[in-house]
Structure 1
């Protein structure tokens, strides 16, 4: 037989505030079950930090709106600049194409006129036509050559103008795209986002949250009391009482007989419950301690050296003692089921 105490799965957790201050509100009661990360209490600076967070959020929203507006305006300028390129390119390309067609027509006419001029010279030399006809044909050739030269010069001017105009329009596009970097507006957004993150962090430090799911076993403070984030200043005690354990203190001379998986029975020393509970050894400690659970027998050794053995109580029995955390119990571990031998309690050695 060994002495033991009841405790929730994962032991009892003392929940502290993330920062020093005064408790303004406690929003849970003893016995209430909470979920992991649920807010259980508020510090007095919560309202101030909430207002600061809301202001930082509004500043970020405003900066994002300005950035979106400037981005939209910049993209609009880029679209306008690209439109100007199309407006310049299409008519000028058409004019160049028309001039090219005119040049090709003049070239064809000039080739025919030159053929006729050669024939007229032959006829003139043979005395078949007068000098006047030859001169007229020569004048036609000269006129076509002048027209062709003029058309080619015009085409060159159109091409040069097109290149220059497209270059200027492209420069406007490049300028609009460069302005779209919006470095200043983006910097404002980044700064506002950092301020919001800091405000949210400061707000979070005014909230006391449950680190895991469980039942509130005890409230250590009341609203208005000061708390600290240092160890030893908890707000409440929390435990998973849906599954209860027994921490049995087995004498150091007996611990070698205890193994994981052995069956155990648990009974109340003071009648807190009438049933005999069953459980299974789940963990055997690796350290030897001075006993923590004191026997009410005056003859018991108050300075025994023991090892803590954790025993998982059967689920149906666990419900019976869910509200009895830290209750002192008697534990019998069945180390040899075939011989019905159990552990001896941690009692003082006989004095000779």
Structure 2
């Protein structure tokens, strides 16, 4: 009988010990897993930008006089040499000599502008020929497989930019000639002995463009140099973005960019034209002083794709600072500083139900993915957001997702 009781007590004790051992045994840690895969890695700099007309022309009063009412309004289209305003010269007798001297000086300044614009037009023509030769040479090399597609795209964008610069320089030369003609006409209209001193002086548009702003539409007396109208071609837009100086040092002319969040259905292509050499201080919405730099971008998409864009529109700018076409990608939350090797990165992989600490070399990171140069293989599973109690060799299991 005693033997039977001993056996029962031993069995109960063993059961209790087994239950307690099971209850207090370490459970596998529930973790989230992701698969290592290959794909395009891009590290971008995102910022808001604003469109603006590349060349804005201010039509000013070439002489003092009474301005007739301007009938043009914002958005109206004007042609080159079209009359946009009319002035009746009304010079005060005591100011005639001074005003005539100012007008003659304006003629000299306009002649200098014509010479400078002519030199810039010749320089733009030389650059356009260089870009055309480079484009044709890169086309031949690309057909033979000696250069990458990105370099060919860069050469194409450089060629398009040179063509636009040549057109802009030619337009600038034409505008300078127009301003010279206006200055000479103003001198003739105010010379003593003018057979018709009360005649109307016609102010003409220097370019074919749209009216952007009319500061004064009503009739009235205006002084010499008073702005009468702002003109610009809304089909020739550029984008200016204000980048932090820490981001601007990574930006180089010719860098590709994408224009998003502008309201259209597609993403527009652009390239960096210039990074301004000087920074300025700007206070953020949180009251923090920031050093920012203006970066100018030119649109590479056709005017038909961006026809709805106008002057002063807000857009989203995404500058591609780094692009790797066939990179090994993991979620950015799967890599972390190595706990035992300062300055290096690590990740946990899943092997036989346990977490394995792996040393990895990270080539770059963005907001979603990390590009791993070494340390992982394609199709491996890594632990995302590893909990603090996960360490090398601990048992883990995939976390069950709640069905929706």
With normalisation by structure 1, the TM-score equals: 0.44
TM-score (norm. length: structure 2): 0.39
Higher helix share: 1
Greater Rg, structure 1 or structure 2? Answer: 1
